[in-house]
Structure 1
Amino acid sequence: MKHRRFLLERPRCSYRVRCGPKESINVVKPAAIVRRLILTFTALVLPLCLTLGKRTAPAEVTPVIHKGVRYVAPNDDGRRGYVEARDAHTNDKIWELTVFTNPIDPNLEEDVQWVFIESLSIRDNTLIVASERKNTYEIDLKTKAITQLPPAQSQTATPQPHNIPEVIQRAVTNGSLVKGYDLSFHLIPSYLQGDFNGDGNIDVAVLVKQRATGKVGIAIVHGGMGKATILGAGRAIGNGGDDFAWMDSWQVYAKNRAAHAAGETSVLRLRGDALLVGKTEAASALIYWNGEKYVWLQQGD
């Protein structure tokens, strides 16, 4: 009878082992172990899944300025890519245009389906819009007609966005450049930096084009004042005339440069850095600050 009683009570002892009259050891049930593993796995994996299901914020798109109008991509609506045209001086909105839309599948996470504009650039009178999916769109700024380029053409036709120094952006915005001039990118580099007037501040020289005539020149924006001085682009200086379309090279000629360009008879004492402009296998010249204005020093012809 005792033996039979032991057999009946044995299942209960499978979870508690008696080691002595006053002590016992608890044995965790297999089901409890499984539950703990599931909870641990969920706690570790669920946050990762939620993170992977969220896209990162879109990159900030550098605005472009053309003929007194600033074109911006707000990138605040993942369901569509659109651009705004704003007055470069007052920032008033002129128009808004949706370039592309993104169909959303309700069965999937919405934010991972969003597509934003990646870059803006100007070519002639056309605004080039590139999306994160490497699609390229052309907007005719006269008619606002939108054309999507074929994939192969998109990779070769999209110009790289231009990184414009902040001092130039301010000059365009506050009106010292906006009236009658556009930035030009027909040469690389399209701008140079140096202390051109010798006041200890970094200035920026940038290529510009006169809007009314298409004449090319240089705008020097002084870092200490933020005002632009136009050379060429309708304003004649020395032998360079009022149109620098002939120029195919330019560089900074440092103030402390020991050597001097061919054709000089003596070492020029400069107040600041100068610009060395030239035409390949032809003339070159120095443009420098004489304490009152920028002057032209011919180096050869």
Structure 2
Amino acid sequence: MTRVVLMVYAAALLPCLASAKRTAPAIVAPVIHEGIRYVAPNDDGRRALIEAWDVQTNKKLWELTVFTNRIDPTLEEDVQWVFIKALSVEDGVLLVTSENARKYQIDLKTKAIKESEPRLSQASQAVGQHHDIPEALKRAIANGFLAKDYDVSFHVNPFYLHGDFNGDGKIDIAVLVRQHSTGKIGIAIVRGATNKVTILGAGTAIGNGGDDFEWMDSWHVYSKERARHAAGETGIPHLRGDALLVSKSEAASALIYWNGKRYVWFQQGD
């Protein structure tokens, strides 16, 4: 009888184990400031919550949503969750760091939330300090092609890649950006021959990637030579130039490539 019960329990548990594709969030150490304990419970994958508790009475004073996670219904939900990783207090400001390295400042008097991320003006200074960054990216920033509506985003390393993405024999630059008006993440491809900028994500939808690449935590160049060798085995499409392989750890990945008219999406995993 016991064996039957265990088998039934295991059968019921199996689908849950199969669908859980991300590890449990970190247990964040609370911080205490002026008699108040600030806690990140990390119990809701769709929003990152901060709770404030009175140390003496252990009474919850308030709670605040720091950020929310937009969920793409076509992807596994749990791998899109982003939780809080660390808390600290400095000069009356609660500093919150997320798993994807985004940083937020909470004014403990007004509860106003501000995200801390370098803007393009700061990016221009950073670009000038690194001689290995291609001229095309420097020109695109200096000439204002990106600055009007987008910030350079540094939340994934590397924040830029280079390759011949449209197959014209010139080196193009792909850089991570964040749209000013919405905060959505995407990729700006700067054409090496003309400095023309194409936005993918960051408010402009493409394939299953949608219009926000916040889910993406890694990317690299997938060369056309590599695709040529793999085409017969994996169904990789013919590439005119290099492609971008974008992915979410332990979940989906896709190729973004130029088909002669526009950049398109080729799903590789779910």
TM-score by length of 1: 0.45
Structure (1 or 2) with the larger CA radius of gyration: 1
TM-score by length of 2: 0.50
